[in-house]
Amino acid sequence: MRHLERHKTARIGWLRAAVLGANDGIVFTASLMIGVAAANTSAGSILLTGVAGLVAGAMSMAAGEYVSVHSQADTEKADLAREDAELKADPAAETRELTAIYAARGLEPNLARQVATQLMAHDALGAHARDELGISEAFSARPVQAALASASSFAMGAALPLAVALVAPHRDLIPWVAATSLLFLALLGVVAARTGGANVLTGAWRVTFWGALAMAITAGVGALFGAIV
C-alpha cells in the first residue's frame, strides 16, 4: 500500500511567501498611511499614498521573490548538474560517499553500503540530491509560485488597511487604521501558525509586535517631518 501521510513541510514553499506577502502588505500600507496622516495631510493624499503603496509593493514583492528564489533554483540546478557529472565519471566513489553519509547517521557499515548500492541502482541522482545536497521536493525552489503568492498576498494584505481608511473619519484615521491593522496581523499570525502547525499565540504575538513597532516609528517620523515642513 502507498504511504499517504501528509506533512506540513510540503506547505513551506507557498506558506512562507504568502505569510510574508500578507504581513508586508498590512504593515507597509498601514505604516505608510499612518506616517502620511501624522504629517497632517489631506484625506485624498492619504488614500492616494495607500493605493500607490499597494501597487508598488505588490510588484516589488513579486520581482524580489522571483529573483531571489530563482537564484536558489539556479544554485540547485548547478549542484545537481555537478553531481550528475560526478556520478557518470566515478560511480564507485559516489557510492562510497553515500555509504559514509548513511554510516554517519547510525547505520552499520555493511548495511550502509547495501542501502547506498540499492539507492544508487534505483535513482542515483535523487539519492545524492536528497542525502548529500539536502534538496527535496518539499523544499525545492519554485520562483513563479513564490512570486505569485507574494504579490497576491501583499495586495490582499494591503487592501485591508486601505479599506479601513476609506470608511474611517479623517480625524480618527490613525487610531482606526492602527487598531484594525494590528487585529488583521494577529489574525494572520493565528492562521499562519495553524496552517504550519505552530503555536498560535506565539505566531499572533510575533507579527503584532513588529507591526505595532513599524507603525509607531513611521508615525513618529511623519509627525516630525510634518512639524518641520
Mean per-residue pLDDT, 116-120: 86
Q: How many CB atoms lie within 10 A of CB 133?
A: 14
| C-alpha closest to that of 77 among 90, 85, 62, 138 | 85
**Alpha helices (H) in 90-170, listed in sequence order:** 91-104, 109-131, 143-167
Mean per-residue pLDDT, 26-46: 91
User: Is residue 2 domain-resident?
Assistant: no
7 falls in which pLDDT band (50, 70, 90)?
A: very low
Q: Would you say residue 13 has pLDDT above 80?
A: no
The mean pLDDT of the chain is 83
For position 14, what pLDDT does the model report?
Answer: 56
Q: Are 180 and 167 spatial neighbours (Cβ–Cβ below 8 Å)? A: no
User: Is residue 200 domain-resident?
Assistant: yes
Q: What is the Cα–Cα distance from 96 to 64, expressed in whole angstroms? A: 40
Q: Would you say residue 229 has pLDDT above 80?
A: no
- Among 9-18, 55-64, 102-111, 126-135, which stretch is predicted with the lowest mean pLDDT? 9-18
Mean per-residue pLDDT, 19-32: 88
What is the percent of the chain where pLDDT is above 70? Answer: 88
User: Is residue 3 domain-resident?
Assistant: no
Q: Are 21 and 158 spatial neighbours (Cβ–Cβ below 8 Å)? A: no
User: Is residue 194 domain-resident?
Assistant: yes
Q: What is the Cα–Cα distance from 114 to 150, expressed in whole angstroms? A: 44
For position 178, what pLDDT does the model report?
Answer: 93
Domains contained in the chain, number:
1
| 133-191 tens-digit pLDDT | 777 665 556 778 778 888 888 999 999 999 999 999 988 999 999 999 999 999 888 88
Q: Would you say residue 73 has pLDDT above 60?
A: yes
For position 3, what pLDDT does the model report?
Answer: 47
Indicate the Cα dihedral angle 132, 138, 144, 148, nearest 10°.
-150
Q: Would you say residue 27 has pLDDT above 90?
A: yes
Q: Would you say residue 26 has pLDDT above 80?
A: yes
Q: What is the Cα–Cα distance from 123 to 130, expressed in whole angstroms? A: 11
Domain that holds residue 153: 8-228
Tally helices (H) and strands (E) across the chain.
7, 0
User: Is residue 81 domain-resident?
Assistant: yes
Q: Would you say residue 213 has pLDDT above 90?
A: yes
Distances (CA, A) of 16 to 64, 130, 147, 154: 14, 21, 11, 12
Give 1: exposed, middle or buried? Use CB within 10 Å, 0-12, 13-18, 19+. Answer: exposed
User: Is residue 1 domain-resident?
Assistant: no
Q: What is the Cα–Cα distance from 226 to 37, expressed in whole angstroms? A: 9
| C-alpha closest to that of 142 among 35, 68, 42 | 68
